[in-house]
Amino acid sequence: MPLIRKIITWALGLPIAAVIVALAVANRAPVRISGDPFSMDNPSISADLPLFALLLGAMFAGVLIGGTIVWFSQGKWRRACREARSDAAIWRSEALRNQRRADESGPDDLAGGHRQITHREDHAGTA
């Protein structure tokens, strides 16, 4: 399965990279980014950037902002997962403790005289 995943990654990644490179080559002209809405001729805050840098920067910022929002919105699910793991560890240790206690007491001491079923027994023949 990992080989198929690598092939798919390369099959999708190469064309996307080619489009990004073509975008960068085609849009090398500088564009003035101004932070001053009142003075068009002599803005107090401005930068001259290639258009592709502006576009790629905006896409990068969008990915970062979107990832951050998703990370925070999934916090309740990560917390629930941690709590479930903790509960599972507690139940597992309790089951092992009860198993050891039952093994030490022997089969005759079990309630009702029933035989203890362990995970090693084959239950395929029982219906």
For residues 38-64, average pLDDT: 88
**Do 27 and 51 meet the contact criterion of CB atoms below 8 Å apart?**
yes
- Does this model's pTM top 0.85? My answer is no
Q: How confident is the model at residue 37 (pLDDT cuts 50, 70, 90)?
A: confident
34: β partners:
46
CB burial class (10 A; 0-12, 13-18, 19+) of residue 40?
exposed
CB burial class (10 A; 0-12, 13-18, 19+) of residue 56?
middle
Whole-number Å distance between alpha carbons of 29 and 58:
17
- 109 versus 76: the higher-pLDDT residue is 76
